[in-house]
Homo-oligomer: A and B are copies of this chain.
Amino acid sequence: MAFLDILKQIVDSFEGCIGGIVIGIDGISVEQYMKESANIDFQNIGAEYMNLMKTITDTSRTLGFEEPGQLIIEYQDTTLIVRSINKDYFVILAAKNNGNIGKGRFLLRKNILNFSKEF
C-alpha cells in the first residue's frame, strides 16, 4: 500500500484529525494528506519538528534513554503526534483536541509496520 493510502486510512478514521505527513529526519516531506478543511502548513511544522526530534534524541542519549519512539505535544487547541517509522523517517499527525487522540495513537501503532514496509 502506498504512503498516501495508509495516511488517508489513518486520517479519515481518526475523528478530529486534520491531516498527516511522512517526513525524513532531514525535514524533506515524502507524502502528506490533509482533510479539505485543514488550514495548516504541514511542510513547515514537519521540518521544524524534525529539528526538534534531533535535539530530543541527543538529550535522550545524554540521559541514558534510547531514541524516543513517539512524542505527543498538546497545545491549547491542537495535538501533534510524532512517531518514528525507522531512524530516518517519521509520521506526524495533527488533530483538534476535541478529537479522539487515543484512537489516533492506536491507528498509528497499528499501521506503523505498513509504513516501514514501504522503505
Per DSSP, are chain A's interface residues mostly helix, strand or loop, or mixed? Answer: mixed
Please tell me if A51 contacts chain B, counting CB pairs below 8 Å: yes
Q: Does A52 contact B (CB under 8 A)?
A: yes
Would you give the 0/1 interface string for A38-72, flagging 1 where the beta carbon is closer than 8 Å to chain B? 00010011001101100110011011011111111
Chain B residues with CB under 8 Å of A102's CB are 102
A78 within 8 A of B: yes
Contact between chains at A71 and B73 (CB < 8 Å): yes
Do residues A49 and B45 form an inter-chain contact, with CB atoms below 8 A?
no
Report the nearest B residue to A74, measured CB to CB.
Answer: B70
Query: For the complex, is A37 an interface residue (Cβ under 8 Å from B)?
Result: no
| Contacts known (A49-B59, A56-B52, A63-B48); A76 close to B69, Cβ less than 8 A | yes
The answer to whether the Cβ of A75 comes within 8 Å of any Cβ in the partner chain is yes
Q: A residues bordering B, Cβ < 8 Å?
A: 41, 44-45, 48-49, 51-52, 55-56, 59-60, 62-63, 65-76, 78, 102
